[in-house]
Chains A and B, each alone.
Chain A
Amino acid sequence: MDKPDLVYMIFIETTAERLWALLTSAEESPHWFFGNRIEIGSAPGDAYKVVRVTGETAVDGGVLAIEPPHRLHVRWDMPGDPLGPGRPNEIEYRIEQAAEGVVKLSVSEFHYTPVPEAWQRAGREGWSLILSALKTILETGRPLPPVTPSHPEE
């Protein structure tokens, strides 16, 4: 496999199964994904979609690999090709046992179409908030109150 372009990582006191359930649940995803809803198939080749609160499709991608509860690799196709034409970028979630009762979640981005610095900056903040939200939900049983990521131009 190619090397990832960016990697984000967090340790969470939970089980791989609970994290996997949260990560792949259409009903739960708005609590940790800025209100966005994730719709995901159960086999490679199935659809992977991110749907906004407005009902608009933000990501219209596909499942490349799915191995519950440890690995999910998706193609991140964006309608209208806002990054320009080319091979869509990909995201891989990996869940590993780190210690007794602790799992490590890592998110790797594979960029096949270059991602501008402003997007990368927003991504650093966005993924950090997403991973923190997953941790909070699993460790406290409550979602984080909404937090605004700062605007990438700031």
Chain B
Amino acid sequence: MDEDLLFRALADPARRTLLDRLREAPGQALGPLIEGLPMSRQAASKHLVVLEAANLVAVVRRGREKLHYLNPVPIQQIAARWIGAFERERVAALVDLKARLEGEDGQT
């Protein structure tokens, strides 16, 4: 992971807005993604290229459509760099994520 690319991509508020929108509604094409935003298609395309280069946005092609998804993996890697070490010391056993989820009623 290129951290400089990642931090530069996150440093721009317009790009963070695009990530917020992709988190709310994953898999959007450019048009719906910028609807209601004070951002031209051209500007949004440039921002998406930066986000894609930082691996923060994954692109899936469906025919002529280019769909965009928030990829949280690089953010997790950054978190692990500063938070992970403490977690690891604290936790001795492997954790079964699914088992914990099943204890949930599934509601937020």
- Complex: A12 Cα to B69 Cα, angstroms: 19
Given contacts A3-B67, A7-B69, contact A132 B76 (CB under 8 A): yes
Stretch from A18-26, A41-49, A61-69, A111-119 at the B interface: A111-119
The reply to whether B95 and A116 form a contact with Cβ atoms under 8 Å apart is: no
- Complex: A104 Cα to B41 Cα, angstroms: 28
The reply to whether A35 and B75 form a contact with Cβ atoms under 8 Å apart is: no
The reply to whether B73 and A119 form a contact with Cβ atoms under 8 Å apart is: no
Task: Tell me which residues across on chain A come within 8 A of B107, comparing CB atoms.
Answer: 116, 118
- Complex: A114 Cα to B65 Cα, angstroms: 24
The reply to whether A132 and B73 form a contact with Cβ atoms under 8 Å apart is: yes
The reply to whether A5 and B26 form a contact with Cβ atoms under 8 Å apart is: yes
Interface size on A, residues (CB 8 A): 45
Task: Tell me which residues across on chain B come within 8 A of A58, comparing CB atoms.
Answer: 96, 98-99
Tell me the residues in window 1-20 of chain B with beta carbons closer than 8 Å to chain A beta carbons. Answer: 1
Closest chain B residue, CB of each to CB of A79: B102
Task: Tell me which residues across on chain A come within 8 A of B80, comparing CB atoms.
Answer: 132, 147
Task: Tell me which residues across on chain A come within 8 A of B95, comparing CB atoms.
Answer: 34-35, 146, 148-149
- Complex: A49 Cα to B54 Cα, angstroms: 34
* Cβ-neighbour of B91 out of A9, A11, A59, A148 (below 8 A): A148
Which chain B residues have a beta carbon within 8 Å of chain A's beta carbons? 1, 26-27, 55, 58, 60, 62, 67, 69, 71-73, 75-77, 80, 84, 87-88, 90-102, 104, 106-108
